[in-house]
Chains A and B, each alone.
Chain A
Amino acid sequence: MYSKGTKRKFSGSADTATDDKAMAASYSLQRQSLLDMSLIKLQLCHMLVEPNLCRSVLIANTVRQIQEEMTHDGSWQVVTEAFSSPSHGPSDRLVATEVLCRSPVLEQQGGGPKLYSVMGYNGCREEEVVTDKALCSVAVGDGAPALLLGTIGHCWDRAELRVAEVEAGVSEDSLSGSGDEEETRCREGTKLATGQVFGMFEIKNSPPGSDPALEELFSDVDASYYDLDTMLTGIQSTPKMGPYDLLDSLASSHGPTSNSTCRADLNELDHIMEIIVGS
């Protein structure tokens, strides 16, 4: 049921401290695997016919609970620190949730990971595109882009997950002396946090050896338990125009994505529109 837990040593009362640590580590691992499982469930929602809103809401609430707890006990720090490797600038720290919906075309355009958080529920036209630089939220209101969104693909209107902002629950004391950026990020709330969490998925599937810190972090999580690789491979092999691709084109006017990426997205959009209109 749980991932490979750490072995507990029973060697008398003198080792209660070790036992507690081991138990805490085991709990952390279990909590982490629950978080990962929940995120997979949410992402997989995008691929189904029409997701069950009740189920999505319950899973999202579970994710939020875990994140709140992880933020409270400071283990969220570990996650954010794991991202800070010298090669990646601040703009790369928040990674796109599009990872599971990404089309290969966009992958090739490169330009570094995009900066998004999880998007809204079914039928919701408003989206928040969070960029690291601005650390502000941009709402995509009803308008021409939204119309496109509405007609483009079922992926877009699926009940995607949006995790609400953590309100006032994040105490600054629990954050152990990290940089301002991370505090701001936590204050921004779960939007960004979720982006980072999804970022973990992204990193997990990056070529081996790309980030030793992360490799270490995930080394003892038993991925085979829920066959992440198989699932993700399967999904990526049938690329669809995902909502995040559209976000790319929208964000291009707000964020630091490259022009070439934007153009590619628009081409994709045109292509999809053609199919739909049947011209």
Chain B
Amino acid sequence: INAFSIFKNIFSVIASLCFVPADIISTVEFNPSGELLATGDKGGRVVVFQREQETKSQPQRRGEYNVYSTFQSHEPEFDYLKSLEIEEKINKIRWLPQQNAAYFLLSTNDKTVKLWKISERDRRPEGYNLKDEDGRIRDPSTITSLRVPVLQPTDLMVEATARRVYSNAHTYHINSISVNSDLQTYISTDDLRVNLWNLEITDQSFNIVDIKPSNMEDLTEVITAAEFHPQQCNTFAYSSSRGSIRLCDMRKQALCDTHCKFFEEPEDPSTRSFFSEIISSISDIKFSHSGRFLMTRDYLTVKVWDLNMENKPLETYQVHDYLRGKLCSLYENDCIFDKFECVWNGSDSVIMTGSYNNFFRMFDRNTKRDVTLEASRENSKPRAILKPRKVCMGGKRRKDEVTVDSLDFSKKILHSTWHPQDNIIAVAASNNLYIFQDKVA
């Protein structure tokens, strides 16, 4: 399925809505094979969905995602020294590539990263000598013969166990985690530091970036996101609240405070305002699957950077430029600080990001076409085809168009994920998860 088909058939709804009723979804992520989809929420829970297998008898059920496992990843904690509560909200989930029968993912809240193992159990041992089937201890005097317990098939059970807890390494709030392509290490990033961990070791991490000034008065910039290069295990990038990206090579020195490459677009003086810096703050960075490009999201745009060109982005896409005239109101109601994520499709030809009013946008990098879609219950009956939406700036509003003033800023799509191979996307709108799939012709 190529990128074109997205715009020929747009997206139809499959599996309709998967409700996560209790809490606002704070992160969504497909695993590297696309078989599993994980969501994390504000209550510290992780819900994992599994794609239903294709069966000849029910071909139309291909691609439906059903709940596979639910577990409480993080609990609220209290920092007694600072008298502050540590939220249990899951900020990020990142999957490890599957290496055996079990699945592994990293989940993190503001302070602690955890490695979870999700495994299936479909057998259990039966025929114990010392206890009977109910688990009651048998009277030893009644045992006259010995037998070997045998594994008998049972109903499928999916268990999640915390295999590692990586704690006490972050003074500030963790905003990103990224697994290295070496599959042995990962980085966790907070506002001022990036730490490198070995997945096996929980009591030690290496600090590889530290931008904390010796005098906190001088703090004017924080780290907003960081990610490992998908193929080069020594390379990672981190973005800042000033709209810059630094590419670092861990081989150069232990503390990667000096970057190898520095990406920043010079400011356009004609559009300068008091809000220029805030809207230039990068909320998300993602390397392309190919490793050749880097995508960044700031408040109004998505930019694609060529790793070989530092002085300006290769492509810039306007997500919702009609908000430019509303920045003061958006500053007042804090919406200007919303952190939107961005994602690549499997072939790096289409990029997607969220907006307000439960709208999300897709940009085809080749044809330069874009589309605005909406994730809402009214428009998302199963098998329905999503209708493109349009926001009108002013003047006469056409039928089906939405005016800027009628946009609902409390309905924002911050988190979304794209299946690694197929055209299946998962979009989180508050406490609802929407899964859309390209309609197969």
Residues of A within 8 A of B (CB): 1-2, 30-31, 34, 37, 41, 49-50, 52-55, 57-58, 60-62, 65-66, 120-124, 126, 128, 150-151, 153-154, 157, 162-165, 226
Contacts and interface: CB of A to CB of B under 8 A. Distances in A.
12 contacts: A1-B326, A34-B331, A49-B84, A50-B84, A54-B241, A54-B281, A55-B334, A61-B277, A62-B275, A66-B274, A121-B219, A123-B216
Given A49-B87, A58-B281, 16 more contacts: A1-B326, A1-B329, A34-B274, A41-B334, A50-B84, A50-B173, A54-B224, A54-B337, A61-B277, A62-B275, A120-B216, A121-B217, A121-B219, A124-B216, A153-B83, A157-B82
Nearest to A35: B274
B328 interface: yes
B218 interface: yes
Nearest to B283: A54
Nearest to A38: B331
B385 interface: no
Contact of A121 (B216, B221, B281, B328): B216
A54 B275 contact: no
Interface string B266-300: 00000000110110010000000000000000000
B278 A154 contact: no
Interface of B: 81-87, 110, 171-173, 191-192, 215-222, 224, 241, 274-275, 277-278, 281, 326, 328-329, 331-332, 334, 337
A164 B84 contact: no
A54 B222 contact: yes
Nearest to B277: A61
A45 to B, nearest CB: 12
A57 B220 contact: yes
Contacts of A120: 216-217
A62 B277 contact: yes
Nearest to A163: B217
A226 B332 contact: yes
Contacts, number: 86
Given A62-B277, A157-B84, A37 B191 contact: no
Contact of A34 (B82, B192, B216, B328): B328
A124 B216 CA distance: 7
A164 B328 contact: no
A162 B216 contact: yes
B216 A126 contact: yes
A213 to B, nearest CB: 27
B224 A57 contact: no
Nearest to A152: B83
A211 to B, nearest CB: 28
B81 A62 contact: no
Contact of B337 (A49, A52, A126, A154): A52
B172 A122 contact: yes
A62 B281 CA distance: 13
A62 B337 CA distance: 13
Nearest to B220: A61
Contacts of A154: 82-84
What are the nearest 9 A-B pairs in CB distance?
A124-B216, A154-B83, A121-B216, A53-B191, A162-B217, A50-B84, A157-B82, A120-B216, A54-B222
Nearest to B218: A164
B217 A128 contact: yes
A66 B275 CA distance: 11
A120 B212 CA distance: 13
Nearest to B329: A1
Contact of A54 (B85, B87, B191, B217): B191
A223 to B, nearest CB: 14
A52 B82 contact: no
A278 to B, nearest CB: 12
Given A2-B328, A52-B173, A154-B84, A65 B219 contact: no
Among B219, B220, B331: residue with most chain A CB under 10 A = B219
Nearest to A49: B85
